Amino acid sequence: MANIVIQENGKIRDVANVELAEKIVEMRKKSDPWKVIDTMVKVWTQNTPDEVEAMRINIGQYRETLEDQEFGATRGGKDQERRFHLAFPKSLMLMIRTQYKAEELPMDKKFFREFLKRYPFFRVAAKD
């Protein structure tokens, strides 16, 4: 069966993707942000299998280079130590930002802690 496409704003788009985008917009109006983000993570996982695999490999490489794998400690310089908690793909962040601007949903420490609880795939450090 051929993919059904439509032209929207001068661009050709797959109908399934347009319907999904409309569903996400409707969900955003009615649902908790985490339900919308759940859907976006599923979509990102399904639509970008190569990026998901690359992320898995990168996280493994990050873990190998850590000074302390349990807490994600890195050496940031002569007098500085940093912790590497998670890897967050730019494409997923951009998807989330299409629906939630920084003022509505700050991607702060609280956000990333909740994100890691919900999606441990992105975790680099073994512990918080």
The predicted model scores a pTM of 0.76
pLDDT recorded at residue 1 = 44
How do the domains of the chain map onto residue ranges? 1-30, 32-122
* Residues 113 and 128: beta-carbon distance below 8 Å: yes
* Residues 45 and 92: beta-carbon distance below 8 Å: no
Q: Look up residue 97 and give its two tokens.
A: 């930002």
Type of residue at 19: E
Q: For residue range 12-67, what is the model confidence (pLDDT) as tens digits?
A: 667 777 788 889 999 999 989 999 999 999 999 998 999 999 999 988 888 777 66
Mean pLDDT of the chain: 82
